[in-house]
């Protein structure tokens, strides 16, 4: 089924470890983004991309890197995990206006715990 696929669903890391959260979409959406969700905070934008080869920082980018080598994939890298990065991470994509509307399609999330 078409949509946004995130892997893994769950991950436990030790402080200082690095890892990559994967995100792929098969809807040919130009725009993709990463959010983190913390209790009482809603969803906060980490990084986003308006197309292959183009990325930019969101509201809370520190400690995270992204790249966009293809339209389909938008991985999020944690360079040196910290307990403050314990959160649920969501990837989202959307076409531009004129291509189907404004609403994001979200993946099902990656629950990350840093110990």
Partner 1 sequence: GQQLNQSPQSMFIQEGEDVSMNCTSSSIFNTWLWYKQDPGEGPVLLIALYKAGELTSNGRLTAQFGITRKDSFLNISASIPSDVGIYFCAGQKPNYGQNFVFGPGTRLSVLP
Site residues, partner 1 (CB under 8 A) = 4, 31, 33, 35, 40-45, 48, 50, 58, 90, 92, 94, 96, 101-109
Nearer to partner 1, 17 or 45 (CB): 45
Shortest Å, Cβ 68 to partner 1: 14
Consecutive H or E run containing 55: strand 54-57
Shortest distance (Å) from residue 23 CB to partner 1: 11
Nearer residue to partner 1 within complex by CB, 13 or 92: 92
Residue where the block lists tokens 């520190």: 62
Question: Between 51 and 83, whose beta carbon lies closer to partner 1?
Answer: 51
Q: Which residues have C-beta within 8 Å of that of residue 26, sequence separation ≥ 6?
A: 2, 3, 72
Nearer to partner 1, 2 or 42 (CB): 42
**β-pairing, 10-13 with 110-114?**
parallel
Provide φ and ψ at 37, rounded to 5°: -120, 120
């Amino acid at each position: 089924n078409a949509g946004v696929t995130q892997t893994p669903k769950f991950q436990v890391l030790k402080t200082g470890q690095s890892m990559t959260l994967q995100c792929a979409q098969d809807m040919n959406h130009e725009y993709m983004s990463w959010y983190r969700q913390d209790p009482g905070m809603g969803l906060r934008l980490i990084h986003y991309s308006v197309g292959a080869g183009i990325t930019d920082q969101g509201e809370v980018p520190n400690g995270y890197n992204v790249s966009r080598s293809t339209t389909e994939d938008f991985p999020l890298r944690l360079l040196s995990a910290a307990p403050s990065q314990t959160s649920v991470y969501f990837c989202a994509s959307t076409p531009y206006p004129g291509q189907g509307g404004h609403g994001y399609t979200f993946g099902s999330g990656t629950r990350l715990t840093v110990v």
